[in-house]
Structure 1
Amino acid sequence: MLEADLLAPFPDEVAVPAATVAAAVARSGRVLVVLDDDPTGTQSVADLPVLTRWAVEDLRWALEQGAPALYVLTNTRSLDPADAEQRNREVVTNALDAASAAGVDVGFVSRSDSTLRGHFPLEPTVIADVLERHAGRRTDAVVVVPAFPDAGRITVGGVHYTRAAGGTVVPVAETEFARDATFGFHSSALAEYVEEKSAGRYAAADVLVLDLALVRGPAEAIADVLDRATGMTPVVVDAVTEDDLRSLALGLAESERRGRSLLYRVGPPFVRARVGQEVRAPLTADEAFAGTSPAPGGGLVVVGSHVAQTTRQLKALVAGHPAVVVEVGVDRLLSGADAAAELDRVVAAVSAALAEQDVVVHTSRLLVRRDDPAESLRIARTVSGAVVEVVRRTLAAHPPRFVVAKGGITSSDVATSGLGIRRAVVRGPMLPGIVSLWQPVGGAAAGIPFVVFAGNVGDDRSLLDVVRVLSTAS
């Protein structure tokens, strides 16, 4: 289907200045706490604090930065439902305690995948439960906004699509992402997706839809629809452009001004639009290293994601950039007896090569699948744990000039356990709206730019482009 034909029945987009949204946010005084189920959600924002730990003192630090939003890396997409629930409870409880002590009003965003993978509706349900129990705040609506136009994910007429070649779009349920071993799904129509993932708790017929005609209209019309929401009514939203997201933000602000209590389940660019940030240009090489003293030698690129997009990007990087390539044998990691020797081999090779040039570490491309989702997650954690150990030991032996982590679970584990990042600031994107650079605050990784690169974004040359920018910095 052509995107132009899909959009034909709807009005043209309306220009909405970011400053207009920012002014509405400033009037509310509310700070958004974003629970990010993997670290790639920061790819659309700039100059916001991000935490990989959620003790009250960490959240107090983030609130003290004076930013309109802060991110907490929960990494729940790598957890089973019970652990994901517990982690969400801890973060929200501690955030409420920190906000109360700081005298700050906070709202909550559950950030997840723009291709609909993740613990839904579990996570917003848990957040709502904690809000009611801990703060006496009942949630009227869960606003679902998975659109990520920068990465080619759009929602039109309540149906979620991914852009393809020749101006066409494909319903997301027809892509490889819908066949995810843990979070697969069958419905591209978001109301039906909500019914499917909630096992019928929320009927598709009861889901409110904010289509493009509403989104591109006045804020009051959006708020009028949300006035009908009560008891965690799911609300799914169309969006095709940044202006659509900003127009939505004004409607949400009006709804909250009227007293509606809203939770958000969203893709990456929602927060940028919701707080009124401009779309930041990609960082230059000098900006990426600003305020740091780069380590001598090469940078480290860690590739864990197995989606086809990542494999193509890895191939282009290896073909187009002079780097030492070290493969981690997944079969040896899973055999148990050979795992320690495999780690020793990889660490020795990486540490030696970093003294002279960039190094690419990647897991073998054969994806080990199991029918049991829990077993699939266990295998993913085993492999990611080994990659983290390689990064941790390499950091101690020869700190890299920069680190790029490819894949959501990989990025999270490399940040928290491999590099020991607890607090950081998102500096901005390395590519337009889709890849973020963190500046670690304190710890062994201070001064090492860390790039979070989702597995499912970019074209075939995107990873190569990012690494070339970082490698050419003076």
Structure 2
Amino acid sequence: MPTETDLLSDYPSEVPISAGEVAAALRSSGRPPRIFVVLDDDPTGTQSVADLPVLTRWEVEDFSWAFRQGKPAVYVLTNTRSLDAPEAAARNEEIVRNALAAAAAAAEPEALRLGFVSRGDSTLRGHFPLEPDTIAATVLDATGEPTDGVVIVPAFPDAGRVTIGGVHYVRAPDLGEDRLVPVSDTEFARDATFGYRNASLAQYVEEKTGGRVPAASVIVLDLGIIRAGSTGGGATASARAIADAVAGATGAVPIVADVVTENDLRALALGLEEAERRGKRLLYRVGPPFMRARIGQDIRAELSGSEAYAGTEPSAAGGLIVVGSHVGVTTRQLGILTEQHQRAHIIGIDVEQLLGERSAAHLDAVVEEVVDRLAQGDVILQTSRLLVRTSDAAASLGIARTVSAAVVAVVNRTLALSPPRFVIAKGGITSSDVAAHGLQIRHAMVRGPMLPGIVSLWEPVDGPAKGIPFVVFAGNVGDDSSLAEVTRKLSSTF
């Protein structure tokens, strides 16, 4: 198993680049400001950014509201990771068309340029290549503009996911200092719906396109290119090297990039901006931190509990922690939380009962217990840890939808009867459904991270959840104590 030090020994050192340098390059590009529309396949993509609008609905008027906020990017919560392929494609197309329509209807459409970003999972799960293919085809049909290249950047250094030599890795400190595991050797690659065999991104592209795009045709921006300025010329030299490397991109060719640090992401941002200034039309398929670098945003310090409640009057009720994810790290985090937060009451949704004839009665009982216990303190609402498995991808999605619908029903009914002090949703699909349907959030602002670089806090700006801090907590990030740490910040009884 390789070490990060060994893998990096053949490459230059990183080029120090500030977020301000990226922001300045965007301002001096000589073109009207652009708004990136980020189609986020679950809400955890917001965990690396701050002070940006997020939508759970995507009518033209929703985009109009978001564009009026004057921010460089807007996140649209598509939740497509929970949909089958035809549904995911249809949703991507609808969102792109509505965003373009809202831009065209703006007071000064000539000054409102859009860029499109398909936010995927940093462990390579999701509808690829379907989603970027659909976005590219829709933009071409609606505007006549072809896509020259699809930039694929799954790296998420804050969460231990890095790409070196075109291979995507997960840091594994429990296996030894500095150790990296190819992502294809992790539990994520065995996902029932989105599994894969290859950690080499070029080979991953070939695998997922069924050979339509051979690995040899993929443009690889390795660290030698990303860090070209380390031997002289600095950020400018790196930007030019990256732009030169993609100069021949055409026909939506995939472009994969090495990233190990935030400086690498910023160098990439400068290089892609230069490529677009030269005329390249690019589409992005990326992990969470890419947009932070792409728009020249500084890394936001983690929010304190007092900052999370700023401008609001917290409810006297307890907080609601909803745990739906079943990956190993979530189960460990849940164990630490229940061990440390002994005043919290644990209430379970039994998946086997959900799939049986007593589903309605079971949910009624759960809601009654949640409301009763919130009057006394925090409640941990969890789906049973016994995962119902199936080898059929469609059946697996069906079970996930049933479970998610039950969680949504409990949260929604609880909100009407006893609004909680805060809500934490653990797991991507869980977070999406709790936000859009359980809490009925339509528009929100991303306040920032609750932990360094991960775990997003939303401020709902309308609807019944207005004033209730909502925490989006991906299932596959953080260490074993992270869930307890975030809960402690927000709880009045922990």
Q: Same fold (TM over 0.5)?
A: yes
The RMSD of aligned alpha carbons is: 1.0
Once the two structures are superposed, what CA deviation does each residue of 1:99-148 show, in whole Å capped at 9, x if it has no partner?
A: 12222100000001000000000000000001100011100000000000
Once the two structures are superposed, what CA deviation does each residue of 1:232-272 show, in whole Å capped at 9, x if it has no partner?
A: 00000000000100000000000000010000000000000
Partners of 1:306 and 1:455 within 8 A in 2? yes
Partners of 2:371 and 2:418 within 8 A in 1? yes
Partners of 1:32 and 1:69 within 8 A in 2? yes
Partners of 1:300 and 1:358 within 8 A in 2? yes
Partners of 1:143 and 1:263 within 8 A in 2? yes
Percent identity, aligned pairs only, is 64
How far did 1:472 drift?
4.5
How far did 1:275 drift?
0.3
Counterparts of 2:16 and 2:70 in 1: how far apart (Å)? Answer: 28
The correspondence for 1:370, drawn from 390, 410, 413, is: 390
Counterparts of 1:249 and 1:14 in 2: how far apart (Å)? Answer: 13
User: Helix, strand or coil for the counterpart of 1:123?
Assistant: helix
Whether 1:332 and 2:336 are equivalent positions in the alignment is no
Whether 1:435 and 2:439 are equivalent positions in the alignment is no
Once the two structures are superposed, what CA deviation does each residue of 1:261-297 show, in whole Å capped at 9, x if it has no partner?
A: 0000000000000000000110011110111111112
Once the two structures are superposed, what CA deviation does each residue of 1:64-97 show, in whole Å capped at 9, x if it has no partner?
A: 1010101000000000000000000000000011
2:302 aligns to what? Answer: 282
1:12 aligns to what? Answer: 13
Whether 1:393 and 2:413 are equivalent positions in the alignment is yes
Instruction: Answer with 36-45 or 316-325: which moved more.
Output: 316-325
**Paired AA for residue 96 in structure 1:** L
2:62 aligns to what? Answer: 58
Whether 1:412 and 2:432 are equivalent positions in the alignment is yes
Partners of 2:377 and 2:493 within 8 A in 1? no
2:137 aligns to what? Answer: 129
Partners of 2:162 and 2:260 within 8 A in 1? yes
The correspondence for 2:38, drawn from 30, 34, 41, is: 34
Aligned ranges for residues 279-358 of structure 1 at < 5 Å?
A: 279-321=299-341, 322-335=343-356, 337-358=357-378
Whether 1:154 and 2:158 are equivalent positions in the alignment is no
Counterparts of 1:148 and 1:421 in 2: how far apart (Å)? Answer: 27
Whether 1:205 and 2:213 are equivalent positions in the alignment is no
Partners of 1:285 and 1:473 within 8 A in 2? no
The correspondence for 1:92, drawn from 92, 96, 110, is: 96
Counterparts of 1:221 and 1:99 in 2: how far apart (Å)? Answer: 33
The correspondence for 2:269, drawn from 244, 249, 253, is: 249
Aligned ranges for residues 233-248 of structure 1 at < 5 Å?
A: 233-248=253-268
TM-score of the superposition, structure 2-length normalised?
Answer: 0.95
2:473 aligns to what? Answer: 453
Counterparts of 2:7 and 2:387 in 1: how far apart (Å)? Answer: 35
Counterparts of 1:473 and 1:360 in 2: how far apart (Å)? Answer: 13
Counterparts of 1:470 and 1:362 in 2: how far apart (Å)? Answer: 19
1:178 aligns to what? Answer: 189
User: Helix, strand or coil for the counterpart of 1:279?
Assistant: coil
1:81 aligns to what? Answer: 85
Counterparts of 1:281 and 1:148 in 2: how far apart (Å)? Answer: 17
2:399 aligns to what? Answer: 379
Once the two structures are superposed, what CA deviation does each residue of 1:176-205 show, in whole Å capped at 9, x if it has no partner?
A: 000000000000000000000010110000
**Paired AA for residue 454 in structure 2:** I
Counterparts of 1:213 and 1:63 in 2: how far apart (Å)? Answer: 38
User: Helix, strand or coil for the counterpart of 2:105?
Assistant: helix
The answer for unaligned runs of 5 or more in structure 1 is none
Instruction: Answer with 26-35 or 150-159: which moved more.
Output: 26-35
Partners of 2:320 and 2:423 within 8 A in 1? yes
2:113 aligns to what? Answer: 105
The correspondence for 2:226, drawn from 194, 215, 218, is: 215
User: Helix, strand or coil for the counterpart of 2:465?
Assistant: coil
**Paired AA for residue 181 in structure 2:** V
How far did 1:371 drift?
1.2
How far did 1:473 drift?
9.8
TM-score of the superposition, structure 1-length normalised?
Answer: 0.99
Counterparts of 1:23 and 1:43 in 2: how far apart (Å)? Answer: 24
The alignment of Structure 1 onto Structure 2 pairs a total of residues equal to 473
How far did 1:26 drift?
2.9
